Structure 1
Amino acid sequence: MTSMTGNHMMNKPYIRAVINELEGLGFAGDQAKEVLLKHYRVVRRTAGFEPNAADFAREIVDIEKAINRKYDPTDPSQVYIGHLRDRLKAAKKPGVRIHFISKPTVKSVPKLRRAHSTHR
């Protein structure tokens, strides 16, 4: 994937306004661009260009905070998924395969009858 910082996208007024809002929310210049590029596609696909630049920037900041938040077992709104992360890391190692075995949904499959053919 090529970097979009050299692209004409950064010169568009809407994007410049979002970067300015991100800088106002505590991100430095280059860090604001990186965060915007990291989450731009997700926010644009969910919200489009309908929200103003400040709301668009707040959505990006919310996503960034959610991604960087550490797991707190006392918080009921968080679910521990570390065991899944470990399984995914193991699956990325060469030569390791993980198979998920589930119960069959249909206990017995009826046998198919052959249609009587007139051909003998």
Structure 2
Amino acid sequence: MILGEWLSRLTEISAPIIDLLALVMILVGTLEAFVNGIRVMLSHPEGHYAIRSVWMRHARWLIAGLTFQLAADIIETSVAPSWDDVGRLGAIAVIRTFLNFFLERDQREIRELQHENEPRKVAST
């Protein structure tokens, strides 16, 4: 078997497996967010910080899943790229970049809020 054929067959096998891993990550993260979201909404009626923490964790799951999807698309595109494949890969890369940017910004804001609230907690005890 020629190396190119071997790589093509390996790609045909690996890309769907990586896509499945991405799907599992997104499903697990979504189920976790659903369960934790219900729990937080029932136990903290005005817990904006607690529910935001749930959504931030969910966003990390989504970014991880999207990263795996991007990896599968890169593998598929590396063998026989069409313009449709390249466009899809570019769209996924742009979406992932924007999600990552906003996630990092939200995490920074949450850390700042936590640091602002720590002295108040210490002073009130």
**Which gives a bigger RCO, structure 1 or 2 (Cα 8 Å, sep 6+)?**
2
Q: TM-score, normalised by structure 1?
A: 0.22
Q: TM-score, normalised by structure 2?
A: 0.21
- Between Structure 1 and Structure 2, the one with more helix by share is 2
